[in-house]
Structure 1
Amino acid sequence: MQKDRSTWKGKIEFDLSLIEDEVKITDRFKRTSVVIVDYDMPQMNGLEFCRDIADRSVKKVMLTGAADEKIAVQAFNSGLIDRYISKNSTATLDMVVAFAHDLQRAYFFDQQRILQTTISLEPPAFLSDEVVGDWITRLRAEHGYVEHYLVGDPTGLIMLTADGELSLLMILQEDDVVRAIDAAEQYGAPPGVLRELRERRKLAYFYDIPDPSRPEAAWRDYLHNAARVRGAEDFWLALIPAPPNDIDFDPAVSSFERHLAALDQDA
């Protein structure tokens, strides 16, 4: 039975239906963030190709020969391209890989800035905190997350691996933690649970209304290891694998791995 997405206080929200619609669309992986193009091509040159890219947020790298370097410098100074690389360099391949990674990060940073200015409510503080951002980057590398989506209540990110495994990363400020402790008290949490919450060893994710009569061991289903991140202020983070949620998502249909498999079939 489908649960009412608006009734549970701890339910993952913040345009959940839009996230659900997004993760069902395999074509989301076809969006281009970085283009690498050679200046010297048979039908058109690299600058003409870059001018024809309608999406101005796409980052562009152009490969040049010695004779084309002056043209590349002019294109870079005018903002038409973001990087240029000489094909005569002994480190051309390494530079291509490094620039692609750098520009992809720049692309997503630009998208985040757009998001921060378009959120109708005040954006969560962690979005602009570099220390939290670095922590999330390391977490993504450690667990292989390839997608993340902003959610609220609890504030944080829904994160997906290439094979579609879903996790919730709670990112709470001190006031959020205090409210969760108050909620645990109101729900009748056992003393041992409250002690771990007050000591900030655990964070609570109440995905439903707890039954006060349940044993303490069952209450621990709501508790998750807390990590303190000292940024512009203190943030408390907890990573929750496979959290209860109402996102109707089939990894076999629309995960990143499924997208790559489809590309192999088409090749």
Structure 2
Amino acid sequence: MRPSSSASTRNRRMSDSDETLLDRPIWSALTTSQRHLAEGGPRALRYPVDMTPFADVPDMSAASFAALGDLLSGTQVAALFTPEAVDVPAGFKLVLAGPCEQMIGSPADSPLGDAEIVELGAADVPAMMALTDLTKPGPFAARTHELGTFLGIRAGGALVAMAGERMKPGKFTEMTAVCVHPDHRGRGYAQALLAAVGRQIEARGEIPFLHVFSSNASAIALYQRQGMTIRRRLYVTALMKQE
């Protein structure tokens, strides 16, 4: 498949964007385009917990992790995306750890047939949460849809596929929650939704990117066929406070 024509557009804009923001996408988002959502201070920041468990620290110091711990209560989880693997500090319990690939570029258009892509909103949250709970694309909470525009496909009145936007570090916007109900796979829904989300991001003069676990070879291959490229590897670490 021919690479997306948006690739040249992205390259022209890259000189105006600091791509190193993507090395620490959570911290970068919460100190740039989404700083109005940031909770915490100079040693630790997080999104509101009913949006996403994402959080980050500016360095791996004991003081920064102590500040992160102060932001957590009960069973709350802090999920970090970092350039290097995190050594779990004292006072925390590891919930999840693994590498992911950070991919960049706008996916090429994909034919959809008779299905219609629609914009999702607050009234669709129960259906969005049910779909993500079934398909496990990553954390999705009651207010995740407020992080950006989400698009979906319905069949028989039920939501069967969706994708949307999440982190916004600088001029970059992350595509997320790409999922399709098991009974409706193989129809090109994920590709079409990803392309539609990418187009709306680029229409605002921003650059699309996404994260996918390194073990998910089929998804990585799909995104590459649509013209996206791997930028770098990051490490996902989810932590809880030790009881």
The answer to whether the superposition gives a TM-score over 0.5 is: no
Task: Report the structure, 1 or 2, having the larger helix content.
Answer: 1
Give the structure with higher Rg (CA): 1
- The two structures have a TM-score, normalised by structure 1, of 0.25
- The two structures have a TM-score, normalised by structure 2, of 0.27
